[in-house]
Amino acid sequence: MGFPLNSRIALSIASIAAAAALIVGATFAFFSDTSTSEENTFSTGSADLQIAPDEESPGTYANDISAPAINETGLFPGFEKDYVFWLKNNSSALIGLDLTAEFDNVVTIENADIANQMTVAFTCRTDSDDDGTLDTTFPTSGPSSINAWDAGSGVLGSLAPDDGDEDGSGPDEAECTAHVALPSSLDNTYANSSVKFDGVFTGTQTP
């Protein structure tokens, strides 16, 4: 007795499904291998601004100039003088530094107003194209009184990342001049007066 036509179609479909299941279930082996990147480490560097007095620079930089960095006596009304120093970006991270200056620990003797009368202006220049010539001069900051520098900071310029050279060339170093002055209008009430302070120079990562 034969199967009805519709039953035969159903069996054929079932046979195809079974064969497909066998194919899908079959296992194929391929060669493979792996490579591993081991102990990946990412470490931050640090910012490091160093300073040197002109007579020792370039070549001798440190974190500080030991006290007394400047010890000037015998000043008089109308006194003016330039003091030269160097700043260097010695950061271990590949970053530029924006430079600012301010004063701290201001102490006066006799007439305390001398800290309002004495002014300081900073001008820095750098070798922007690394040819050994200080060819770029940053805008002068100041002149401002000692007390004004104590109350706030001024912008000196920017240093490029450390180039590994300490010979005074390159945009990672700057020669700076502090111009100190007393007005000629000072009278005898300022005699035997003095002011002492710390010059604080800060390098902050350039955005």
- In this prediction the pTM is 0.82
CB atoms near residue 165 (< 10 Å): 13
pLDDT above 90: residue 182: yes
Three-state DSSP at 143 gives strand
What pLDDT shows up at residue 5?
Answer: 44
**CB of 159 within 8 A of CB of 86?**
no
pLDDT above 80: residue 162: yes
Residues 6+ apart with CB under 8 A from 18: none
The span from the CA of 100 to the CA of 122, in Å, is 10
Domain ranges within the chain, ordered by starting residue: 49-205
pLDDT above 80: residue 53: yes
Predicted confidence (pLDDT) per residue in 116-152, tens digit: 999 999 999 999 998 889 999 999 999 999 999 999 9
